[in-house]
Amino acid sequence: MKIIVDDLQGKEVYNLLNEHLQDIYSVSPPKSVQALDIKALQASNITFWSVWENEKLAGCGAIKELSKTEAEIKSIRTSAEFLRKGIALKMLNHILAEAALRNYKTLYLETGSVEYFYPAIELYKRFGFEICGPFADYVLDPFSVFMKKVLR
């Protein structure tokens, strides 16, 4: 399996991110959806990675720099064919390693609060993320869970 910095130009990535957005919109009110589309993920302060097994897209994830010491995890998603095969775990480990290389002190994330998002919340908790209040430009929302991890 390989993880690469991705330019978001491939149809496989487009399809996975489109599926990601459709799923999130199906379980969250539109005003509570914080997932980014491809254009937003191409911002200069975001690094986007894709995970590949041979020629098949297994998943993706991104990191958004908030400041020189803080960043936010975005768009971790596993392709349906690779569910429960450790792809999200690999991506989260990769993002944590990259955050350490960049000397970030704190990593944040926002995810949904409904049952659909419980597996993600549990994964983040296993990695030491804790519930926190809104960060950056977020506002309190009953459909959002905000988490942070202080890095050493």
C-alpha closest to that of 51 among 86, 9, 18, 11: 86
pTM of the model: 0.94
- Whether residue 152 has pLDDT greater than 90: no
pLDDT at 60: 98
Confidence of residue 25 (pLDDT cuts 50, 70, 90): very high
Q: Measured between alpha carbons, how far is 151 from 103 in angstroms, rounded to an integer?
A: 9
Q: Are 57 and 50 in contact (CB under 8 A)?
A: yes
Confidence of residue 8 (pLDDT cuts 50, 70, 90): very high
C-alpha 61/C-alpha 88 separation (Å) is 8
Mean pLDDT estimate for the chain: 96
